[in-house]
Amino acid sequence: MIAEKALTYEERIEHAVNPAAKKLFAIMGEKQSNLCFNPDVTKAADLLKFADEIGPFICLLKTHVDLLEDFSYEFTQDLLSIAKKHNFMIFEDRKFADIGTISGKQYKHGIYKISDWSDITNAHIVPGPGIIEGLKQVGLPKERGLLLLAEMSSSGTMAKGEYTKTAVALAKEHKDFVMGFISMGKLTDDPGFIHMTPGVKKQKGTDALGQQYKTVESVILENGSDIIIVGRGIYAAEDPKKEAADYQSLGYNAYLRRLEN
């Protein structure tokens, strides 16, 4: 049997339906980076400093704005200008989980106004398809993209089996807005979807609260994921910049090897 040729990030642009997915594939190709960095800090200035320092190495910056003790509108504007300077996108890891009407309001309103500044956000599918519709009404007119949490990295996760399959089916029904998945590896051969995997470090391991780490090679090469999401592996290191450069090249080389196989 002749294996189907793997597509490059650039070749996958035309297969993606969602505009944020197209933009992300383009940046991944241009910057030769499949690294998403999450500086999970509690002060806006620290987050902005990390964004500026690590920006050159990443395609995507993942935030948890509700960790910030001093969140402000100015912070979002500063983050957007750093994103522009270093050509990366922003992913607010909000993990929406309510009925469609409320999730849509949480996305648009409140203190954070996530849909105003975040290119990408994510949602659990526990409530059913209404959550996708509710977020889509707010996000799609702004060309935002949604990731579905199809699997999780934590031990004992209930996102598995039929639940994961349902996430993939829902994504296929909402390709205009759903750009891909949080998952531990590739879930569908549709090249338009982007798979992002958290729980990545140079060494396998765990933290004290159930996080399970896999290596870059196992995630990209063996499991067929597209993007590595790295937090403590970079921001808790002695030299975050050096670690970011390492993760960028580890991730990109694993992708190049996958293309060859």
By the rule CB under 6 A, 217 interacts with ligand S5P: no
Please report how close the Cβ of residue 94 comes to ligand S5P at its closest, in angstroms.
10
Instruction: Identify any residues that bridge with 147 across adjacent strands, giving them in sequence order.
Output: 122, 180
243 part of the interface to ligand S5P, by CB under 6 A = no
Report the greatest alpha carbon distance in the chain: 57
Catalytic residue status for 186:
no
Nearest residue (beta carbon) to ligand S5P: 231
Of 61 and 170, which CB lies nearer to ligand S5P in the complex structure? 61
State the nearest-atom distance from the C-beta of 48 to ligand S5P, in Å.
17
Catalytic residue among 95, 142, 175, 186: 95
* 121 lies in the binding site for ligand S5P (CB under 6 A): no
Give least dist CB 104 to ligand S5P, A.
20
Residue choice 232, 241, 253, 258 for contact with ligand S5P (CB under 6 A): 232
- Cα distances (angstroms) measured from residue 174 to each of 131, 154, 193, 240: 11, 27, 11, 37
**Residues between 59 and 78 that touch ligand S5P (CB under 6 A):** 64
92 has which bridge partners? 63, 121
229 counts as binding ligand S5P under rule CB under 6 A: yes
**DSSP 8-state symbol, 4:** P
Q: In sequence order, what are the beta bridge partners of 178? A: 146
Q: Do 149 and 199 form a contact (C-beta atoms < 8 A)?
A: no
- Selected range binding ligand S5P among 52-60, 81-89, 223-231, 252-260, rule: CB under 6 A: 223-231
Tokens of 27: 């940046």
The footprint of ligand S5P on residues 20-39 (CB under 6 A) is 38
Burial of 201-228, coded b for 16+ CB within 10 Å and e otherwise, reads bbeeeeeeeebbbbbbbbbbbebbbbbb
* Residue 182 in the binding site for ligand S5P (CB under 6 A): yes
Distance linking the first and last C-alpha atoms of the chain: 14
Measured between alpha carbons, how far is 227 from 239 in angstroms, rounded to an integer?
A: 22
Indicate the residue among 55 and 199 with the shorter CB distance to ligand S5P: 199
What is the DSSP code (8-state) at residue 158?
S
* Cβ proximity to ligand S5P, 64 vs 241, nearer residue: 64
Active site residues: 95
> Binding residues for ligand S5P, per CB under 6 A?
38, 40, 64, 93, 152-154, 182, 198-199, 211, 229-233
